[in-house]
Amino acid sequence: MQDIVGPGRAVGIVGLGTVGESLLNMVVATGCPVVGVDHDPDVVTRVGQRLKRKDSDGAGESASCTLTTEITALADAGVVVEAVAEDPAAKRDVLRRLRQVCPPDTAIVTTSSSLPLFPLGTASGCPDRIVGLRMVRPPARGRCAEVVRTSVTSDETADVAERLATAIGLELAVLGQRASDFAARLVHSYLNRAVAMIAEGFASPRDIDTAMRLGCGLPSGPLELIDELGVDGVHDCLESRRRHTGEEAFRPVPLLTSMLRGNLLGRKTGQGFHGYDGRGLPGARTPDEWDRTRSPATDRPVGHVGVLGSGTMARGIAEVCATAGFRVTLVARSTDKAQSATTAIEASLVRAVRRGRITPARKGAACAALATVDDVSALFDCDLVIEAVVEDLQVKRAVFAQLGEVCRPGTILATTTSSLSVAACTAPAGRPGRTLGLHFFNPAPVMRLVELVRTPDTADHVLDVGRAFCADLGKVSVACPDRAGFIVNRLLFPYLADAVRLLDDAALDVEALDTAVQRGFGHPMGPFALLDVIGLDVSLAILERLHAEFPEAGCEPPAVLGELVSGGHLGRKTGRGLRRA
């Protein structure tokens, strides 16, 4: 690092908010001297206390770090990173002061993610020494950043910024200003919707975050991400976007404003949607630990599981249950379909052994525990019956009418519906207190999440049994009410619809936006690639159901989506969608 800043010189960080403190810690980890500056003495004290805790844990080198409120402490810095709030006036003021304080060979790096770089450089009075370090989320080792230069940025300044970013562990990437801005726009409206779900009491912060991490493969849930970005930063970005676009989707949910006023800003203050210890780490048990905890009264309440259906989801659920040690009866529509289900499940278990996921002995036990039949009366003595037939309300209602007649009074009945009303599906069974939704994700043997859906009539004990059953399967359950989309689809599909609406902007590059979301926010794939995988027809149908129940929540299907579906552009399955196949 010293070959970057020069012998005896330090790296300076101005602004010790979420981004600045993260950069400070990354520089400290290299052993290079660093000077952190913030105008707020309380922030300086708080950051210093966290550094001391890390040092006492052997996780920091705070002896190489100086923290102060005085910008003049940067008089000998070799490179300075400006990381103050995303406010043009504040950034211009800091950059001008840095030009006055720092030597003429000091490179000045601004972390602005949305403001034009050239005017900032011009306002500083030293545009050749100004370079941008664009990040769409707070920095951490292995995360992406883009070094952005203007037409007058010197080669030496750009080189210093690139070497600094590499030295502290950032991965250099080309994200693009427009693509980065579009990506941040999508994510911020998604975050605002997640806060709205909390405000209406739809689900807990833990369950929402767990659902989006495990259901969509995201690196963090929306509320965890807000805590990481800072409640104040997210609130300011939403307000700024609302002023510029006039779109109500960006109006901060009042709960977010209340948290801002209460100084509940996330990791940096120790409390946001979650609690954090003095080092900024989560201070509570992890979601997995919560979900695997249960009272002794609900230990293994289910012994015999019935699965009604023989499609991909039904077979996957039967396999998971048998592998977990349950006795399983799968009911298909015919003898041939029952035999085909047995063959498919056994083949899947063979693959699981080959991949080391289960032992040969466990495979043998699972096969012995599984029975496939074509007679629904075989479900009479089941403790739990899971319906996994086609996603059609009338078909499901007919199935539950049959189950209500066949199953003993104590049997719990569950539907795997992903988008229909659980109460509407199960009502014909005539036992409202003993019904619930168990929304498994596909493929069931692999995906760890189950959405545990409670109707207004579901008994507490039945919900407890459902939660314990999921834990026995090795799954993580999240509780939510019986509303369209449950947690995952209610958050995911408005986000995807927002992406489609961006197609109206001539500046949008579909592939560039997908890359920015993937590399900048760590999503497994961008919104357009994901739409093609899900299927545009499936996405349209889900959005129509969501819009019917939540007409003011941004769920209205974009017109272009309907046009694509009408034209046979359904995504990967037809080789024609939003991206090239």
Alpha helices (H) along 502-558: 510-521, 527-534, 536-549
Judge whether 477 and 470 are in contact, CB under 8 Å: yes
Query: CA geometry: angle at 225 spanning 452 and 65, to 5°?
Result: 145
Taking the alpha carbons at both ends of the chain, their separation in whole angstroms is: 44
The two tokens of residue 392 are 């059609």
- 451 catalytic per annotation: yes
Whether 402 and 425 have beta carbons less than 8 Å apart is answered as no
151 assigned to active site: no
Residue bearing tokens 């609406």: 501
Radius of gyration for the alpha carbons in the chain, expressed in angstroms and rounded: 27
User: For the range 438-443, what are the long-range contacts, defined as Cβ-Cβ under 8 Å and sequence gap of 24 or more?
Assistant: 438/386, 438/414, 438/466, 438/470, 439/486, 440/313, 440/316, 440/317, 440/320, 440/416, 440/475, 441/214, 441/215, 441/488, 442/312, 442/313, 442/316, 443/312, 443/316
CA atoms within 13 A on the CB side of 442: 11
Give residue for tokens 């950032």.
Answer: 170
Task: Decide: 198 and 208 in contact? Cβ < 8 Å.
Answer: yes
How many angstroms separate the Cα of 100 from the Cα of each of 35, 107, 279?
Answer: 17, 13, 34
Q: Which residues pair with 172 in a beta bridge?
A: 145
Closest CA to 452 of 424, 409, 414, 425: 414
Dist CA 456 CA 453 (whole Å)? 10
Contact by Cβ (8 Å): 56, 36: no
How would DSSP label each residue in 230-279?
Answer: -HHHHHHHHHHHHHHH--GGGSPPHHHHHHHHTT--BGGGTBSSSBB-TT
Q: Is the peptide bond before 443 cis (omega within 30 degrees of 0)?
A: yes
- The pair of structure tokens assigned to 544 is 């129509």
- Residues contacting residue 552 through CB under 8 Å, at least 6 positions apart: none
Q: Which of 22, 418, 419, 539 is catalytic?
A: 418
Annotated catalytic residue within 451, 477, 539, 547 = 451
The active-site residue out of 25, 112, 113, 489 is 489
Q: How far is CA 553 from CA 123, 132, 317, 491, in A?
A: 41, 36, 32, 10
Catalytic residue IDs: 418, 439, 451, 489
